[in-house]
Amino acid sequence: MKIILLVDMDAFFASVEQRSNPALRGKPMAVIGSGHRTVITTASYEARAYGVRTGMNVYEARKQCPHLILVVGNNDKYTSTCSVLEGVYRVYTPIVEIYSIDEAFLDITESAHLFGGPLAVGARIKEDIRRMFGINATVGMGPNKLIAKLASDLDKPDGLRWISPDEIQDVLDPLPVKELWGIGKRTTERLETLGIRTCGDLGRAPVSMLRNKFGILGERLKAMGMGLGPSEVHAEEEEVKSVGHSRTLSEDVTTLQEIGQALFQLSEKVGSRMRKYAVTGKTISVVIRYKSFETFSKQSRLGMPTNDTHVIYRNAMSIITAIRLREPVRLLGVSLSDLHDDGEQISIFEEHRRRQRLFTAMDGINDRYGNATLTWGPCVRKSSDSVISPAWRPGGIRKSL
Ligand code: TTP
Ligand code: MG
């Protein structure tokens, strides 16, 4: 049985701001996005006590807490903190997966005993983070990622909790299903129509009933109710398997035109990064997150490997147009996998060669003068860097979506 550890910073952006400005410490404050200044990105725990939440607009938040202090976020501070954190984690195990801007999974199965056991590792990581950055993190541990995430959620903020295999049943039995990572509002409502409210109910539900209602997902849901989940931690040094980029849109969008604009920007980001790394990809995936946070992805295989922005865009668009969108879209992602070395591709067609020269020139200029100095028409309309996507990675290149 593995021991998986999740580190999740407490009120991450807000904590970093409180750290760099002592006047903000101990106060109800919130960070707003630099691009979209009316929405709360995250709130300090002092502000959460008043009911201020991520995603609220400033007016709603001020209604909850009239003396709320607002700070415009500085993404560079958060991403550089994240990059340094990776080094902290590697002291304890080489198997580290930077999962989001403020979360990382560590597989400490083989190394925990060197430091005095899982709880000692967790305590040391918390202490390292406090000493280096002056901020609090919560550490959750369990035999898989689902339970590690649950342990962290249940013990926030400044928590340290290890749910060992023999405790899982007792923890899950009374726990409402919505507390489980990956079970959103819609699934919770659909489970409720089956009379399933707690994880205990879910784990005991007949699989045939769940399969009827949820199809293939039914089995996964039952397993989750029993506390089973993935335990593979994807260490970053493994070979790159996909290149992707995703972005929380500054506003939820509904029209194909708006989606197309965002997809073009993403395709250009992915295409230019692939050209920089001299790779092409043969499978394209599009990730869609609805307003309700329900997230899914669709893939398609390309005729030949590509890193051409327009080819990526056209294929991403045909995936989207084949989907009947049920809700406004909050986040979009594009990635290419099944990667090949670009050198394998010999350009037979002059058009292909001409486009490659164009891309090389554009990428060169952008390398020199900063990203998106030179870009395609559809990318100009909206700034694309004001929001850090939850899928942000230090290297900008990741193994899987
Ligand atoms: P979270 O870990 O979800 O939130 P948090 O660290 O602020 O608070 P806690 O973990 O203690 O509950 O997100 C990490 C950071 O990511 C958060 O500080 C701000 C940013 N973020 C966004 O930019 N947009 C979002 O929709 C969310 C949820 C977070
Ligand atoms: Mg956090």
Instruction: Give yes or no for residue 260 CB within 6 A of ligand 1.
Output: no
Query: What mean pLDDT comes out for the span 120-126?
Result: 97
Q: What is the mean pLDDT of residues 143-162?
A: 98
Q: Which residues contact 345 (CB under 8 A, 6 or more apart)?
A: 280, 304, 305
Cβ-based neighbours of 169, under 8 Å, separated by 6 or more: 200, 227
Res. 384 pLDDT band, cuts 50 70 90: very low
CB 362 within 8 A of CB 272: yes
Residue bearing the bigger pLDDT, 201 or 356: 201
349 pLDDT higher than 60: no
Whole-number Å distance between alpha carbons of 68 and 59: 11
Which H or E run contains 340? strand 329-341
CB 368 within 8 A of CB 256: no
Nearest CA to ligand 1 atom 27: 41
Burial (CB count within 10 angstroms: exposed 0-12, middle 13-18, buried 19+), residue 371? middle
Residue 389: is its pLDDT beyond 70?
no
> Which residues are tagged catalytic?
103
Banded pLDDT at 398 (limits 50, 70, 90):
very low
Q: Measured from the CB, is residue 78 less than 6 Å from ligand 1?
A: no
Residue 365: what residue type? Answer: I
Supply the pLDDT for residue 237: 52
Shortest-distance ligand to the CA of residue 12: 1
> Which tens digit of pLDDT belongs to each residue from 68-81?
999 999 888 888 88
Provide CB contacts within 8 A for 260, sequence distance 6+: 317, 320, 378
Q: What pLDDT is attached to residue 19? A: 94
Q: Is the CB of 250 under 6 A from ligand 1?
A: no
In this structure, the number of other CB atoms found within 10 A of the CB of residue 385 comes to 13
Q: Are 266 and 333 in contact (CB under 8 A)?
A: yes
Q: Work out the pLDDT band at 234, boundaries 50, 70, 90.
A: confident
Contacting residues for 116 by C-beta, under 8 A, at least 6 apart: none
Task: Check whether 362 has a pLDDT greater than 80.
Answer: no
Position 97 pLDDT exceeds 60: yes
Instruction: Give dist(CA 324, CA 398) in Å, integer.
Output: 29
Contact 29, 35 (CB under 8 A): no
Question: Longest Cα pair distance anywhere in the chain, in angstroms?
Answer: 66
| Integer CA distances (angstroms), 154 to 45, 163, 227, in order | 15, 10, 15
Which atom of ligand 1 sits closest to the CA of residue 13?
18
CA atoms of 7 and 120, how far apart (whole Å): 14
Q: Using most ligand atoms within 8 A of CB, pick from 6, 10, 12, 247 the residue to mutate for ligand 1.
A: 12
Q: Is the dihedral of CA 369, 370, 373, 376 positive or negative?
A: positive
CA of 252 to the centre of ligand 2 (A): 23
Amino acid at 226: M
Please name the residues in contact with 251: beta carbons below 8 A apart, sequence gap of 6 or more. Answer: 36
For 180-209, the pLDDT digits (tens) are: 998 999 999 999 999 999 999 999 999 999
Identify whether the C-beta of residue 288 lies closer than 8 Å to the C-beta of residue 331.
yes
Q: What is the CA radius of gyration of the chain?
A: 22
User: What are 251's two structure tokens?
Assistant: 């506003």
Q: Which residues pair with 246 in a beta bridge?
A: 333
d(CA 226, CA 224) in angstroms, rounded, equals: 5
Q: What average pLDDT does range 92-104 have in this prediction?
A: 90
Residue 124 confidence (pLDDT) above 60: yes
Contacts (Cβ under 8 Å, ≥6 apart) of 147: 4, 140, 163, 168, 227, 229
**Nearest Cα to 397, choosing from 254, 234, 207, 165?**
234
Q: Which burial class, exposed, middle or buried, applies to 202 when counting CB atoms under 10 A from its CB (0-12, 13-18, 19+)?
A: buried
Separation CA 191–CA 75 (nearest Å)? 38
Q: Which of 100, 33, 57 is nearest to 295 (CA)?
A: 100
Give the percent of the chain with pLDDT over 90.
67
- 349-370 per-residue burial string, b: 16 or more CB within 10 A, e: under 16: eeeeeebbeebeebbeebeeee
pLDDT band at 382 (very low <50, low <70, confident <90, very high): very low
Percentage of the chain beyond pLDDT 70 is: 84
pLDDT tens digit sequence for 21-75: 999 999 999 999 877 678 999 999 999 999 999 999 999 999 999 999 999 998 8
Mean pLDDT across the chain, nearest whole number? 87
Tell me the best of 52, 54, 85, 100 to mutate to test the pocket of ligand 1, counting ligand atoms within 8 Å of each CB and taking the most: 54
For residue 157, cis peptide bond before it (omega within 30 degrees of 0): yes
Q: Whose CA is nearest to atom 23 of ligand 1?
A: 41
Question: What band does 130 get if pLDDT is binned at 50, 70 and 90?
Answer: very high
